[in-house]
Structure 1
Amino acid sequence: MPRLNRVTLMNDSDHLDTNDSVSAIQFNESLSAGAMIKAAREAAGLHVAALAVSMKVPVKKLEALESDRLDQLPDAVFVRALASSVCRTLKIDPTPVLLKLPQTNAPRLTSDRSGINAPFNPPSDQKHYSAASPANKPVVWLVVALLLAAFAILFLPDLTVNEKVDVVGPPQATVQMPVEVSAKPDLVKPMDVPVVPLTSQVEPQLAAPQQQTLESLPKVTASAQAPSALTAPSSPVTAPLPGAQLAQSAIVFKAKGDSWIEVLDASKAVQLRRIVSAGETVAVSGTLPLSVVIGRVDAVEVEVRGSKFGLSEIARDNVARFEVK
């Protein structure tokens, strides 16, 4: 027991000596704030790294504070707060240390004698609005481009395919047929309807007046049958045929597949405008010339006054347009 009391008395004396040394350091006016903190730390027997770990502060900031390198710390408020924390950790009075540190001046509100009636004076350096400044921003150009694109989409013409096929093809091939027949009772002018390429136009070739039999006349389709007076091969044709009768059944369509066909006469009256089904045969007549549009060339065979008319030479994109005159 006497030995333990002796150790306790020695520890108490050491503690009193440490407090006395710290108090002496605090009241030493010749030391700076950093030197006072460093002396107190060394008197407490703490290493700067151990103090930094206990306070959870970087070692470099404690070293800068102890070396009075306050320019390496953020601001005066941070310096005073860090010094106060170190003093509390070392259990010393922070007042002498804070007196050595830079003071922070709190902002003060100035009284305005003029009150609410004070005139408003805008600052002279205020930037005036410039109409050209938004043009330098890419966002403005992006918005303008989007508006132009929307305007173009709304007001462009409709590009969808209409029911009526309208294809501008090469020059139309025409089939020229005679519109007049000699009025002589015993003579008829024969006609020949050849099929020629697109670059040339078919011209009728009229033979010299001669007697014709039923075999020498072109075949007539369902809607225009040969007159009963022409049944005998050896009997000449005596009755003249007007031009309107020649136009009857001037063109015949034989559909191998479904196809759109449109036929307009000279007065633009619709003679045929529909889809002709596969296997269907349609004969069309009207006032010449007849304007013809065929939607599927590969699905239709055409006969012009009994002669087969080739469509492959005038077709474009499987659509044929021609006139029968």
Structure 2
Amino acid sequence: MSNEETVQQSAAPGPSAGSQLKAARESRGLAINDIAKAQHLRPSVIQAIENGDYEQIDTELFLKGYVRAYANHVGLDPKVVLSQLDQELEPLRREKEQAHQASPLVTIEQKKRRKKRIARVILILLFLSLAGFIGYRVFLQGATLESLTSIGQNESGVAPEGEGDSPAVDDAGSVPLAPSADAEDDQVITPVEPDPESEPLAEAVQPEPESRVEATETGTPEPAEPIVETAVEETVAEPQPEVQPAPDVSPAAAPPVTTEAAATPGNLTAVFKADCWIRVTDANGDLLVSALRRSGQSLDVTGTPPLKVVIGAVDAVDSMSFEGQTLDLGSYRVVNNRAEFSLN
């Protein structure tokens, strides 16, 4: 007897699940080949279950499915047998977990995750440092520009507010008084004769007089007609470019848009009379379902064909149809009560 079987028997009080199934089989007078043929399994699988050599089975899910079908076949309660099987599998689960934790691959993966976390923290710190440096530079440039502006104003001689209103002081130290309004009235304005040479400049600067007096032959001044200079603006009409009419674009003239017809999804339905694991994926590789269906439950999935179907226990399927057509599961290849096929 192996060490694992000893651990299982010591951890699980009472007869093991395999011994219960074996006793029930022998009481009915059935051979191992009879059970294997009825369950579509190899005789070695039935023998491994009875001997408690559960590592011969691929997964725990398949093991429970085989034990459940075996118990139903020999007339035992599947719940009682599976409860005993869970107690026997608990030490194996612990050993697998310990082996998984001690695996070098797990250690390497943990180191990789730790390095990724450290790298992420370093990147965040670098980003915050860069943002703080940029903010400091912007603040420093603003302060420097402010100080340069104030220095430039002082050098340009702009007097501060309030200083420009102070009166000027002469050499004697006295403040001259501002001239009064009466003094301005008493001032005599003497006309200044214009210089002949500066007459053209004066005429150009001074506004045009409203009237001009010209001397006649007799010497009698006559009022001159006002000379009004008018500027005639000639507007040249620029040729406007011809506006071409926009082409008539109507929905009827638009080219037809062709679209590819989408693939018609396929519908798969199934009804189960016992517990069964099933997985269905579509043509895009999307997983439509991967779960354990109990007795009396049904399945209804839709996806892009072809659908890839994997059934863990063929005899647990009561009926299955694809696109409304009932499928004959006996026509597909069944190995160890397990079938895998595609539906188009």
**Higher Cα Rg: structure 1 or 2?**
1
Structure with the larger helix share: 2
Q: TM-score range by the shorter chain?
A: under 0.3
TM-score (norm 1): 0.26
